[in-house]
Each structure stands twice: as C-alpha cells, then as structure tokens.
Amino acid sequence: MARTPLIIGNWKMNVDHVAAVSLVQKLAWTLKDAEHDPAAVQVVVLPPFTDLRSVQTLVEGDRLDLAYGAQDVSDAPPGARTGDIAAAFLTRLGVTHVTVGHSERRLHHGEDDALVAAKAVAAVAAGITPVVCVGEPLEVRRAGRHVEHVLAQVDGSLAGLGAEQVAAAVVAYEPVWAIGTGEVATPEDAQEVCAAIRQRVGQVHGEAVADAVRVLYGGSVKSSSAASLMAQPDVDGALVGGASLDAAEFAAIVGAARP
Ligand code: PEP
C-alpha cells in the first residue's frame, strides 16, 4: 500500500502569534515556489496554542494548502482542568493533528503511556489525528534495549485505539538522544525501529492496519539528512523540530519527501 509521506513541523515553545503569521506565509510561498504538490506530500505545522487562531485565520483566509495542529491535548472533556486545552476546542480551530507523548512532555510533565493513550483517545474522539511519539533515551540505546523499550511504549500508548483508529493514526519514532542534539539517527537505525513498530501494529491489528499506519522518524532531521531517512521502506516522513523554524530549510525537507 502506498502511504502518503507526511512532514510535520513542531515549533515547540517558539514563535509567538505575530511571528507565526509571517512564518506560515513564508513557508506557503516557499512551498509554492518549489512547486510543492500537497497530494504527494502532506505538510503539517504545530504552532503553540496561542498562535492557532492566527494561523487558522491566515490558512482559511488565503486558502493555503497547509494543515496545522497542536503540540498537546487534554485527555479530559471541557471542565475543571485549569491550564489544559480540550480536544473539542482544537477541532473548532481547524486543527487536524496533535502530538501526544512527545519526549519533552514525558520528561517535563511526567506523562506516562496511560496518559498518552488517553490523550490519543480524546484526539480521535474529536476527529483529530494523534501523532503518538515514542523513543528511547541514550542509556537504553547503549544497552541495546531500544526496540523492546519503544515497543512497550507503542503497546501502552496505542492501547485505547481500535484497529481502524490505529490505521489512521501516526506514530513518530523519536530517539530522545537525537532530539534537539544535532545527532541524527542513521537511516538504518531509524528503519530498524520504524519497521519493528509497524510489525508490532501488524501483530496486534493485522497486516492491513500495519500497511496503513504512518510511521515517522524525528530527531535532528535537516534537509541534508531527510532524503536518506525517508528512503527507508518503513519511514513515512519526519517530525521536525528546530529545522521547521526556517521556512527554506523546512520546505527543502518537504521536497526530500517527494516520492
Ligand atoms: C521534535 O521536537 O520532535 C524534534 C524532533 O526536534 P529536533 O528536530 O529539533 O530534534
């Protein structure tokens, strides 16, 4: 089955709502100049929550071929959860994707697989595609236990989703040691773990679901490394952090994903 490559730009806690408008405009122009075909490669940006309304206004007003999402979502419905953002609010803002279980949330907010799974369920219930992030820390990689570590996260984080929902979801393999460090995984390392993730999805939900689910690599992806990573058979795209803040660099990564 041909899976449409997906490139997601995670802005993290960078770019306020004023700067977001110029970054999205610049990205849209750059992609247009590069004759980007949105049917061939899907592109999503993940601005901070406070930018989403501005990004929505721009994307809808200028009819930009660009999707946008959020970096986190509450597992709870609207109510007494101070500081949290309900999935239904994101749907109203035109959000299509949301990362759940990013390693920075697992680290700084103590998020575990059970919470990540509940967030994925809340996203799906609101019609939003969850991008479920998994990945091993350096000591686990050094001990050679990276595949088992990641598969345990996959089992726990996808636990609440049925087969159809997993088929439509995205899993992002992001080794913690590669995020924001400049140390990108080799294409072979990325392929090993992405293939293992797909195989596990197949064991749990069957081959058709394994064929459909998109598995991304994330961790210090740049335009210089993107093509060889995405040439791997089980790497369907990239979750890009730092490099997504530069429109030209991000557009070049999108170009490298062209089948
Ligand atoms: C990320 O934030 O998910 C990420 C992969 O960051 P970077 O590309 O900067 O390593």
pLDDT, tens only, 88-125: 999 999 999 999 999 999 999 999 999 999 999 999 99
CB 41 within 8 A of CB 5: yes
Q: What is the pLDDT of residue 259?
A: 80
Which pLDDT band holds residue 8 (cuts at 50, 70, 90)? Answer: very high
HSE, side-chain direction, 13 A CA sphere, residue 151: 16
Percent of all residues in the chain with a pLDDT value above 70, rounded to a whole number? 100
Report whether pLDDT(1) > 70.
no
Enter the tokens of residue 247: 């429109």
CB 155 within 8 A of CB 117: no
Contacts by 134-141, CB closer than 8 A, 24 or more apart: 134/101, 134/171, 134/172, 134/173, 134/174, 134/197, 135/103, 135/173, 135/174, 135/175, 135/176, 135/178, 135/179, 135/218, 135/219, 136/175, 136/176, 136/177, 137/176, 137/177, 138/176, 138/177, 141/175, 141/177
pLDDT tens-digit readout, 142-181: 999 999 999 999 999 999 999 999 999 999 999 999 999 9
Closest CA to 47 of 97, 83, 101, 86: 97
HSE, side-chain direction, 13 A CA sphere, residue 184: 23
Output the CA 71–ligand 1 centroid distance in Å: 12
Q: What is the pLDDT of residue 82?
A: 98
Verify whether residue 205 is a known catalytic residue.
no
Percent of all residues in the chain with a pLDDT value above 90, rounded to a whole number? 98
Q: What is the pLDDT of residue 198?
A: 98
> Which residue among 36, 97, 102, 149 is the active-site one?
102
> Which residue among 104, 136, 174, 249 is the active-site one?
174
Mean pLDDT of 59-85: 97
How far, in Å, CA of 223 to CA of 254, rounded? 8
pLDDT tens-digit readout, 186-213: 999 999 999 999 999 999 999 999 999 9
Ligand 1 contact, 242 CB (< 6 A): yes
Output the CA 102–ligand 1 centroid distance in Å: 10
Report whether pLDDT(242) > 80.
yes
Ligand 1 contact, 246 CB (< 6 A): no
Taking CA atoms only, the protein residue closest to ligand 1 atom 4 is: 241
Average pLDDT, the chain: 97
